[in-house]
């Protein structure tokens, strides 16, 4: 697979970095998308030290200029893109995290990264994905964006308020379906995935799964073959309370 090129947003740490490692181990050239040149370059250097083909691409999903510049750079340097992993995401709330305390400013900030950023990046790189023989898009979502899961009080996250974060991931899930319908007659497949409750900076490292476990489903879906699914919401099948790999919308 050494001719495959993958771009992962928010890849300088956490699940994004573990995804880059896994794709690198599969022989894919990985482009570390990150806002900070210092952190992004350092992450790419670590990946190269581990034996992977990796490079840093400055990319702030909330900054249209960097998105445009990143797409232009990838086109000039590689001529195509085979895999896009929309991993960058934030979780913010106000007060005691109840929805009634949520301010519009916080909600807009969450959606700016988790939803609008994914749209901006996907649309910017779609022309390059169309040049791939088998383009793959993976949207890193969450079971907290699953309406079917959050209404089940017998499940670990059920009955809790998903807030702006959950609403943004539900929106990302619908965008996955929307893109999937548009691209169904092309070689591009797009899927949403949940890493499960993974210990990252997003949750104060309180998660119960390691980043390598959380990244597995993103890696797997990035490498699916022609017979793989599209417009689906998947887990790795090892999150017991989800009862299988297919996550309810």
Which residues have a catalytic role annotated? 165, 169
- In the sheet that 83-86 helps form, which strands lie side by side, from edge to edge? 54-58, 29-34, 5-9, 83-86, 136-140, 189-193, 233-234
Task: Give the phi and the psi of residue 142 in degrees, each rounded to 5.
Answer: -165, 150
Q: What is the C-alpha end-to-end distance of the chain, expressed in Å? A: 32
Helix axes 37-49, 14-25, angle to 10 degrees: 30
Q: Calculate the dihedral angle through the C-alpha atoms of 19, 21, 26, 31, rounding to the nearest 10 degrees.
A: 80
Proportion of the chain in helix, strand, coil states, percent, rounded to 5: 45, 15, 40
CA–CA separation, 93 and 168 (whole Å): 12
């Amino acid at each position: 697979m050494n001719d495959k090129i993958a771009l992962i947003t928010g890849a300088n740490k956490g699940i994004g970095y573990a995804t880059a490692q896994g794709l690198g181990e599969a022989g894919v050239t990985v482009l570390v998308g990150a806002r900070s040149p210092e952190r992004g370059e350092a992450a790419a250097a670590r990946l190269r030290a581990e034996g992977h083909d990796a490079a840093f691409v400055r990319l702030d999903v909330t900054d249209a200029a960097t998105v445009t510049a990143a797409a232009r750079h990838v086109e000039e340097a590689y001529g195509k893109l085979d895999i896009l992993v929309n991993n960058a995401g934030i979780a913010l709330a106000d007060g005691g995290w109840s929805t009634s305390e949520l301010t519009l400013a916080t909600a807009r900030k969450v959606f700016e990264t988790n939803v609008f950023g994914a749209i901006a990046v996907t649309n910017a790189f779609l022309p390059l994905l169309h040049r791939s023989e088998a383009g793959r898009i993976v949207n890193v979502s969450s079971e907290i964006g699953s309406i079917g899961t959050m209404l089940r009080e017998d499940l670990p996250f059920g009955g809790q308020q998903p807030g702006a974060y959950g609403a943004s991931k539900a929106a990302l899930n619908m965008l996955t379906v929307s893109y999937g319908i548009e691209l169904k007659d092309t070689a591009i497949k797009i899927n949403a995935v949940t890493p499960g409750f993974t210990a990252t900076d997003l949750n104060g490292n309180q998660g119960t799964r390691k980043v390598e476990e959380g990244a597995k489903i993103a890696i797997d879906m990035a490498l699916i073959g022609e017979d793989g699914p599209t417009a689906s919401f998947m887990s790795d099948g090892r999150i017991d309370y989800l009862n299988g790999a297919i996550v309810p919308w």
